[in-house]
Every structure is written in structure tokens, then in C-alpha cells.
Amino acid sequence: MAASDRRPPRTPAGGRTKADQWREQRKREDRAARWAAVSFLVAIVASLALFVVYISGGQAQLEGLTLFIAFGAVGVGLAIWVRVIVGPEEIVEDRYPMRSEDADRDAFEELYQSTMGEVTVGGRRRFLLRLLTGAGLSLGLALLIPIRSLGPGPRNELFRTEWGEGVRVVDEEGEPLRPEDISPDQVVTVFPEGATGSADSQAVLVGLRKDVPTDLRQPTVEGIVVYSKICTHAGCPVGLYRAAVGELLCPCHQSTFGVYDGAEVLSGPAGRPLPQLPIEVDREGYLVAISDFRVPVGPSFWNLTRGDGA
């Protein structure tokens, strides 16, 4: 069969000329291009609105809504562009002589003449690409927002608490404690004097039994140990004490710490012992700290062993 015999039929469908079909297709694409452009513009406006809402104080619901609209509008614009303008189907066309038939050439000329001055296909693509770039840039600007939320670095705050040399150990009412106030197996939540309620300085004081051997990391007095009350796993208060076995228990994920073994982790997800507070008795007979905790309290972090916190 000759190559020219394999050409697709050229008869106009439904009485419409080839130029009519092309014109309709062109109108469909123009309509789609307009909707895609509107979607990208909505994405730009929503992204800028997100930015403005954030820098003027922030409002979680509004930020979520504008972010949703921005991403959604970009998605809708791209979907329209790809499905209608580019087209989803793959078309394979048989080869045939390159020269168009006279009827096609006439139809194209008619179409070209009738659309002179309209936006060209290349111009439309450029226009949509610019809008898409604008939407991407404004979304990128909005996505930089979380950097601002990081705030200033913690500096040395993670390495310090309110404890320090000579600071008295007080109970939750702010009453200073003496060794004779504490009996074996007794547990008291304690704070540094003047900082009752301080979240990172809260500690648990335990009276030890004299008949149980100890393996402690810091100086202690008269069978009394003081450990940070903040779990080294995820920061819950370690509030339960099983006196019979000498274990402090964190209720969040069941980490257990051996009170007689320097709060070593006995089980559970905690990765290191509870920091122990070095204590002594001052001249008036009250329990005082010798220094701050010698390792940071609470969950581990990336430079936990930095400097004198090691």
C-alpha cells in the first residue's frame, strides 16, 4: 500500500471543516489556560496572605487555610494545564509525506488569519509558566516562615538550672530541709530555694536505707540522694518510687532508674541516668547544693556533652 493511502481520513466530521475543529480545540485550550492562570493567581495571593498573617502575629487556623488554598490552587492549575492543554493521551501517527494537503493548508491559513493578534500557543505557555513561577516563589517565601519560628538559640540555658553552690534544698512549700527531716524510703519533690516550681530545676530527694550498698556518682550526705525529676527520655516528671526495689519509675514510657546505682537506667527507653545533684549540709544544718547538676537535665540533645556540661 502506498504511503499516501495510510493517511488519516480528511473528511470533515458533522459537516464541520478542519478549521472549525481546530478553532473549537483552540477555544477549549484558551478556556483551560484562563482557569489555570486563575488558579496560579489564587496560589500567589494565598501564599502572600499566609506570609502577611504570620508576620502580623500569626493565627493557626488562618495559616492552615491559606496554606491549603495555596497548595490546592497550584495543584488544580497544574492538573488543568496537563489534562486539557498538554493532553493526557499519547498519540502515535504513521508516517506519510510531509507536505500537508491543500485543504489543510487552506484551513490553517484561514485559522491563522482569523486569530492574528490573539495570544499564540508559545505566548500562552510562557504566560502560564510565569504565573507558575510566581506561585512557586510566593509559596517558597511562605515556606521560609518556619525559620523565623525557630527563634534564638538556647545558648547555655540547657546546661544550667537554678541550683548552685550553697543553694538550699526546699520542699514544694519552700521549707528548707534538714537531713533529720528525711527517713529511709521517703521521697520528697524538692526545688532550689527561691525557685519553687521551677520546671527544669525540680528534683526528687530520696532517703536511702543504710543496709543497701550504693554506687553513686556525686557526693551525698546522711543517706540522702537528690536526682533531677525530669526523665532523660522525653522529659516527663519521674514521680513514682518503688521503695522495695529502690527504683524510680517514669509513668510516661516506664523507664526505671536505680536509686542506689546513681539513677542508672534499669529498663525502658531512657538513654542515660537521671543527673544527680551534689549536696552537703550547711552550718545551720540544712541541705544545700554543692553546685548545679554536673550534666544537663532532661532529654538528650545534639551537643549534650559540650564544654563543662560533659
Closest approach, Cβ 233 to ligand FES, in A, equals: 3
Residue 202 binds ligand FES (CB under 6 A):
no
Closest CA to 104 of 35, 22, 28, 5: 22
Give the position of cell 509559596. Answer: 139
Long-range CB pairs of 303-309 (<8 Å, 24+ gap) are 306/159, 307/159, 308/159, 309/159
Choose the stretch contacting ligand FES; rule: CB under 6 A; options: 62-70, 109-117, 226-234, 273-281.
226-234
- CA 70 – CA 237 distance, rounded (Å): 41
Q: How far is the CB of 241 from ligand FES (least distance, A)?
A: 14
Edge-to-edge strand list for the sheet holding 264-267: 240-242, 247-249, 256-258, 264-267
Of 170 and 259, nearer to ligand FES (C-beta) is 259
If you count them, how many residues does the chain have? Answer: 310
Nearer to ligand FES, 43 or 297 (CB): 297
C-alpha cell at position 299: 532529654
Pick out residues in 13-32 that bind ligand FES (CB under 6 A): none
Residue number, 168 or 233, with CB nearest to ligand FES = 233
Among 62, 84, 252, 266, binds ligand FES (CB under 6 A): 252
CA distance 203 to 213: 22
Asked if 255 touches ligand FES (CB under 6 A), the answer is yes
Determine which residue in the list 48, 187, 221, 234 makes contact with ligand FES, applying CB under 6 A. Answer: 234
Q: Which of 134, 176, 184, 268 binds ligand FES (CB under 6 A)?
A: 268
**List 42, 188, 224, 250, residue binding ligand FES (CB under 6 A):** 250
| 229 touches ligand FES (CB under 6 A) | no
Q: Under rule CB under 6 A, how many of the chain's residues touch ligand FES?
A: 11
Residue closer to ligand FES (CB basis): 234 or 266: 234
Could you tell me the smallest distance in angstroms from the CB atom of residue 300 to ligand FES? 12
Stretch of 156-164, 200-208, 233-241, 259-267 lying at the interface with ligand FES (CB under 6 A)? 233-241
CA angle 65, 68, 74 (to 5 degrees): 140
Segment contacting ligand FES (CB under 6 A): 40-48, 127-135, 173-181, 265-273?
265-273
The residue from 18, 124, 229, 233 that contacts ligand FES (CB under 6 A) is: 233
What residues make contact with ligand FES under the rule CB under 6 A? 231, 233-234, 236, 250, 252-253, 255, 268-270
